[in-house]
Amino acid sequence: QSHPVAQSLADTVKLHNLPIASLQTLIEAHRFDLYADAMPDVTTLEVYFGETQSALFQLASMILHPPLAAAAATASGLAGVAFGLARALPDPEISRRLLPVNATRENLLALAEKRLVEAHDAISQLPMQLRPAFLPLSVASLYLAAAQAGKTSVPQWRRQWRIWRSARQEMA
């Protein structure tokens, strides 16, 4: 008998005809998390978030509306980088492990904000059927505000509230 999480993932892959290669790339990219190596540069960091965070947005798009999911590729890429940076910046443990030592915090904040604006622009061009895949991105601005204020986290209730409000606004 397999692990229940693995079985659920296998069932989801089969049900939604998700590409195994995307999941393998996602898993392979997380190999970096096992080691204490420093992220060499910002470009490598963006690739890492592209292969981890962006992949999740793209897979969610594929689940929501397979025929239109290809249209979400650019939005997924930008959203993943924005979300990954936003999530990493306020958390000292994640920052220490992921953020390149040769990049300043201010430059990374600016990059995160830029990618977030670009992601929102790309998402606004998507068909309505795909937009719910990007609801988790609504908390990125909370993480960026926390990072700018010197806080290390965002309370769970605030994240849930933001996602709920964003979902309600999408339906309006």
- Could you report the per-residue pLDDT of 109-136, keeping only the tens digit for each? 999 999 999 999 999 999 999 999 999 9
pTM: 0.91
Contacts for 90 with CB less than 8 Å, ≥ 6 apart: 143, 146, 147, 151, 152, 153, 154
pLDDT at 15: 94
Stretch 78-99: mean pLDDT, rounded?
92
Distances in Å between the Cα of 82 and the Cα atoms of 45, 79, 120, 168 are 11, 5, 10, 22
80 within 8 A of 53, measured Cβ to Cβ: yes
**Domains and their CATH numbers in the chain:** 4-171 (1.10.600.10)
